Amino acid sequence: MSATRKDLGHSGLKVASVGLGCMNFGLMCDQARATAIVDAALEAGVDFFDVADIYGGPAGKAEALLGKALGARRAQIVLATKFGAKLGGRGGAADQGGSREYIVKALEDSLTRLGTDYVDLYQHHFPDSATPIEETLRALDDLVRSGKVRHIGCSNYSGDQLRAAAVAARTAGLKAFVSAQNRYSLLQRGIEKDLVPIAQGQQVGIIPYFPLESGLLSGKYRRGEKPPPDTRFGKWGGGGGFVSEERWAIVERLQAYGESIGRSVLELAMGWLVAQPYVATVIAGVTRPEQITQNVRAASWSPTPEELERIGAIAGGG
C-alpha cells in the first residue's frame, strides 16, 4: 500500500495524493506522537508534509516537532509551510503579513524551527489586502532565486485573488503560485465555482484542507451518539461548527450508498477528492499513526465515473 502520485500544479514536482497535515502537532500530539505519525506516513509512501508558522500552541511548535521528527529524512519529502496568518488561531491575515519585511523574517524563523535551509513550498496563508500583491510576489521571487524556497503557493485566496496574482506575476516576470490550499470536501464545495476554474486555467494545483471536515467524514461518528473521549469531537464536546442536521443527513446518505457498493464513508470522501483532476494532494490532519495509514488506504480506491457522479450528487453542491 502506498499513495499514488500527482502533479503539484506546474511546479514539475509529483507528490503523493495523500499528504500529512501537521496542525495537530503541539496541540494534540507531543514529540513522541508526532514522530510516530511521521514514521507511519513515510512508511505509507506519504511525501508531502504541510505545516504553518502559527501551528502548535504556542505558535511555531508544530514546525519544531515536525523538523525533529523528520531529522535526516528531510530531503526525502516535499516540505510545505505557510506564513502571514494571525496568531492565536483566529484566522485571517496578519498585519502586513504579505509585506517583504514580514515574509523574509517569517521564512528565517520557519527554517530555524524546521531545521532546514530550504522549503519546498512556501504558502501565503491568508491574502493581505493592505499589501500590493506584486510586493508579496517580488519578495517570494527573491526567496526562490536565493534557493531558500523552491516553489510558492497561496491559501484561502478567492478565484479573483488568484487571477490577480497570476496576472501580476506574468506582467512583472515573477514566479507564480503553483498551488492553492483551500477548504474543500464533499460537504464544502464552494471553490468549485470560484477558485477551481481559475486554478485550472493557471495550472495551479488545489490542496484541500479539512477534507474530512475534522472527522465528520471519517465514519467514526454517529448522530446522537456520544463521541469517543480521545477524539476531536470528544475533546470539543461535539463537532462544533462542523456539524448540523443537514450535514448529518448527508453523511448518513453517503454511508448508505457506501454500504451498497462495499465502501466506507472515509473511502468515499478521500477517493472522490483524489479523483478530481485539479487536486494535487489531500492533506488530512491526524492524531494517531494508524489514521494516516487508513487515509492512504482509503484514497487508493478509484471510483468509477458513475460512482463519482453518484457520490457528488448525494453530497450536493453546498
The residue whose grid cell reads 506575476 is 169
Q: What is the DSSP letter of 175?
A: -
**Per-residue pLDDT at 318:** 43
Name 19's bridge partners: 283
Whether the pLDDT of residue 115 is over 50: the answer is: yes
List the catalytic residue out of 55, 122, 209, 278.
55
Domains of the chain: 5-315 (3.20.20.100)
Q: How confident is the model at residue 43 (pLDDT cuts 50, 70, 90)?
A: very high
Burial of 144: CB neighbours in 10 Å, binned 0-12, 13-18, 19+: middle
Dihedral of alpha carbons 226, 227, 230, 232, sign: negative
Whether the pLDDT of residue 3 is over 90: the answer is: no
Catalytic status, residue 278: no
Average pLDDT over residues 121-137: 97
If one compares 163 and 228, the residue with the highest pLDDT of the two is 163
Q: How confident is the model at residue 222 (pLDDT cuts 50, 70, 90)?
A: confident
Average pLDDT over residues 47-59: 95
